[in-house]
Chain A
């Protein structure tokens, strides 16, 4: 079964800064089925990116994705207050669909 490992576990940054979140797969996967989700406290998780770099409806362009093989990155170019949340990567190419353990992005 595919295992996704996210790093760091917690990232402390200030609004306006750039955030780089990593996701490493236990085996090489196609980025066509790589997704990122955002989960704010008390809210439903929401899809940010799919196909590794395609933004879901309503997602601002400060969110971008990149990577290939086993290493993928979510970048938030300039942090807004509403961006502080937990982020999960996921590969949905084959079941069972697995998600990373999450990176908590907190205000410094």
Chain B
């Protein structure tokens, strides 16, 4: 089964840009829909957006103005950038993939805790 591993800084300063990368274990990068999902402390999971291997993206309207996703098929990686972060962006960020539907998360990474510091 496809395995995902997220990576990135654990602390980001307020007003700066959060950047995370997810590494895919095999060449499924060109078959799946790749999503980012986050969970702030004490709150529910929130879907951030997805990217397809063609580069097509679909973002949650609540975050759309600050989100960019990209994909690098040569490295089997996809990435998330979230700019102008605030304390409300403190969360565990998960990368996930769905083979048959963009919103169905067949496989997940373990999550990366990102804390926004002041």
Interface residues of A (CB under 8 A from B): 33, 35, 37, 42-47, 50, 56-57, 88, 90, 92-102
The 6 closest A-B pairs by CB, nearest first: A92-B103, A97-B103, A44-B108, A101-B44, A99-B45, A96-B60
Cα A102 to Cα B39 with chains together (Å): 12
A93 cross-chain contacts in B, Cβ below 8 A: 103
Q: Is B65 positioned at the interface, with any CB of A under 8 Å from its CB?
A: no
A88 cross-chain contacts in B, Cβ below 8 A: 45
Tell me whether chain A's interface is mostly helix, strand or loop, or mixed.
loop
Flag if A50 contacts B108 (CB, 8 Å).
no
Interface residues of B (CB under 8 A from A): 1, 4, 35, 43-47, 58, 60-62, 94, 96, 98, 101-111
Flag if B110 contacts A96 (CB, 8 Å).
no
Tell me whether chain B's interface is mostly helix, strand or loop, or mixed.
loop
Smallest beta-carbon distance A63→chain B, Å: 16
Flag if A56 contacts B106 (CB, 8 Å).
yes
The residue of chain A having its C-beta at the shortest distance from the C-beta of B63 within the complex is A96
Smallest beta-carbon distance A85→chain B, Å: 13
Flag if B104 contacts A50 (CB, 8 Å).
yes
The residue of chain B having its C-beta at the shortest distance from the C-beta of A6 within the complex is B44
Cα A96 to Cα B111 with chains together (Å): 20
B110 cross-chain contacts in A, Cβ below 8 A: 42-44
Cα A94 to Cα B47 with chains together (Å): 12
